[in-house]
A and B are shown apart, each in its own frame.
Chain A
Amino acid sequence: MTSKEAVQRWRPGLPDAEAHPCHNEIFASSGEGAGAGFALALARDALRVSGKGALRVDDQRHILWVQTRDAIKRCGRPYVHGLPAELRRRVIHVAAENAQDALFALEEGVRCRDLAFVVGELVGNPKSLDFTASRRLTLTAQKHGSRLYLIRIDARRDLSSARMRWDVRSAPSPRPRWNGEAPGSAAWQAELFRARAHPPGEWTLYDDEGTLCGPPNAISRPYLNIPQAANAPDYGDMARATVGRSLAAL
């Protein structure tokens, strides 16, 4: 590895295998959905890169989503209508009683050849998830060539052997084109604080219809996340003006 490659800064969609390691940790707080959303975005980014440009349509491998009971309580469970369309029918959900069971499920999932990737959600810093346990997960994932995204909810940055460690929180979303007052598609403030092949850094990342992308160029894409054909007509404001009365009036 030359020194030039070694200092290459991480960005979404890097074709490099080092940019999509086998074991990722994502630290997030329990009061938001940023952790799970960012984990899915990273996983889909990795799948897209390994699928040569686009997500393969025939890829019907399942996803194992392991949660402890605490995590379900604090962050809720994955909702089938809110999942990305191509993952909607492929999630296998495991509700583990405690962190030990969850780690067992994660290891079994990582060992399985029929899974696209494995998502885990653990709360805090459980005793069973020490450096040995994380090293075990990393080695198993490396051996079987699978990817693990471990979401650490409300956790300290303890010792871990994860190849990439992120700290994620929500960021103000880009304004949608047709309703500027509505929340837009997902945006995250992500800090990469530990990685093997990349220097640490901080990014504001956006979810552009399932593609993870950096801050869009404000001049060429004024409406940020709406992919816009050059000749797309602008219909203006389609809702009639309500005079002195809210649409939400009772």
Chain B
Amino acid sequence: MAIWLAQLSVDRWRLSSGLKRGEGADGSALALISETAHGPRLEAVNDAARDAGLHAAMMLADARTLCPDLTVCPSDPAGDLETLEKLTLWAQRWGPWSAMDAPDGLIVDVTGSAHLFGGEDRLLADVAERFAARDWIVRTAIAPTAGAAWALAHYGANGAILGSDEDMPARLDDLPVAALRLDSDVLTVLRRLGLKRLGDLERVEAGKMTGRDALQRRFRSRKSPASNPLVRMDQLIGRVPEPLVPLVARTMPLVQRRLVEPIRHRSLLDQVLSDLAQDMARVLEGQGEGARRLELGLWRVDGEVIVRSLEMAAASRDPAHILRLFAARFDDVDAGFGIESVRLRASWAEPLDLAQADIEAASEEKSLGTSLAACVDRLGVRLGNRAISKPVTYPSHIPERAQRHACALTSESHSYNVGNPIKRPLKIFDNAEKIAVLYASPDGHPQRFRWRGQAHNVARVEGPERIAPEWWRERSTVRLRDYYRIEDDAGRRYWIYREGLPGDGRGGMPDWFIQGAFS
């Protein structure tokens, strides 16, 4: 069964404004607009505007000339999609699963469930009645395939029923080719070819063997169903399957406490949170899941809501751990006249198998310490998640680019080794520091240099190792680097480089920098 909400955006706007149909602002011409590169464009129009000759996809400037007293509102595609999602879930009352058909339709599988409503016509009547009760305009159809139901809902009679024993091509003969759910450019091509009805297309296909071949050749490079009329036709008739993605509702674990007496003190809040954490652990355990992200909402008496959210490095449902992490976030909570309701929600949960619960607790008691994930969580709560990272390799020859910082608990699936047999320093500076060369050897490397106010005499050198700039990424003026490993007379080992060559046309005399220090 296909349900088409013919005026989804306008109906939603009207319902959110609390107006009845044709009343107040809806009584006069109204359009929902969106900004495009060529100026505002109408996305949807109400009945009054349609009577005035306006239609969707018109430019606002054109619409104003036709209907000077047009009122406009911005459209909200994201909100429309969200509404459609909710309606799709609600539509599962008529069938076991339903799929969204963005932007304004939905498809319900009613195979074998029509008799529960007393037949297919009674089912469609029920659908119409329920949508009418909510003041939505819908067009419905039932057909053996999703494509045929969609075509009938959009272009056939309202409430059309196509039985599986009927002759499908004959029933769908008169529908326009737009009923095939094709892109607009393909529709243009078909119109130019003179194929206006599904029947025309069917006759071209069936008439001679060459007909289908010709169409096949015409659309040979179009692989997606929405741009290939032959594939769409086959899906409509049911010759090839059309997979749809059903929408499955998933409720996230949520626990809450409404308090008889508003609380104003920290110790009471900790107690409430501890109760909630235990409730949450029970709920999560029942689902075999562990929380990755937790959101805690505190409702104050004066209506203010305080939200604290938390992300964990690994799925967990340990109440003590949750409590400890949240405790660090409570220091700046202003209870005002008191908190009357507390709600804990796990907005991101991952599967976590049941484990022997007492091992963790026992190990903590026996002072064997915390697990790594718990340690990372505790650090992240106090220092911020960005402070904790794991240095990982990255495929680049530029030394500072060859290391990146990933999440602390990422397991590095592949390690890039750029293949450097030459030793790299143990420590690297975030920004290479400039050194002043006091005396350079004839070979080019410094013999004596000053860094951080201290003079160093170079005793031993190895180099140069030339690292060219990444020309595919950087500007052409970036200079190459010649790296030297040096050791000064006190045994301190550094990695220094000269940026550029004299006379390379990318600036003046090259400067020397210190990149890192060896152990």
Contacts and interface: CB of A to CB of B under 8 A. Distances in A.
Interface of A: 31-34, 36-38, 40-41, 62, 64, 72-73, 75-83, 88-89, 91-97, 101, 104-105, 108-109, 111-115, 143-144, 146, 169-173, 179, 181-184, 186-187, 189, 207, 246, 248-250
Nearest to B372: A114
Interface string B472-499: 0000000000100111011111000000
A143 B389 CA distance: 27
A248 B402 contact: no
Contacts, number: 197
Interface string B451-467: 11010000111111000
B382 to A, nearest CB: 6
Interface in B393-438: 393, 399, 402-403, 405, 408, 412, 415, 418, 420, 423-430
Nearest to A61: B372
**Most chain A CB inside 10 Å of its own CB: which residue of B376, B402, B405, B493:** B493
17 contacts: A31-B454, A32-B517, A41-B519, A79-B403, A79-B425, A81-B420, A91-B390, A92-B376, A111-B370, A112-B372, A114-B371, A170-B490, A171-B491, A172-B491, A183-B485, A184-B487, A246-B444
B519 A78 contact: no
Given A82-B424, A93-B390, A246-B443, A179 B462 contact: yes
A144 B369 contact: yes
A77 B404 CA distance: 12
Contacts of A111: 369-370, 375
B393 A80 contact: yes
Interface of B: 363, 367-372, 374-376, 378-379, 382-383, 387-393, 399, 402-403, 405, 408, 412, 415, 418, 420, 423-430, 442-445, 451-452, 454, 459-464, 482, 485-487, 489-493, 501-502, 516-519
A64 B482 CA distance: 33
A81 B421 CA distance: 11
A75 B517 contact: yes
Given A111-B370, A183-B486, 13 more contacts: A77-B427, A78-B428, A79-B424, A79-B516, A81-B402, A82-B428, A93-B389, A112-B374, A115-B375, A169-B490, A173-B487, A248-B464, A250-B444
B370 A112 contact: yes
A145 to B, nearest CB: 8
Contacts of A187: 491
A88 to B, nearest CB: 8
Give the dominant DSSP class at A's interface.
mixed
Given A80-B391, A94-B388, A31 B426 contact: no
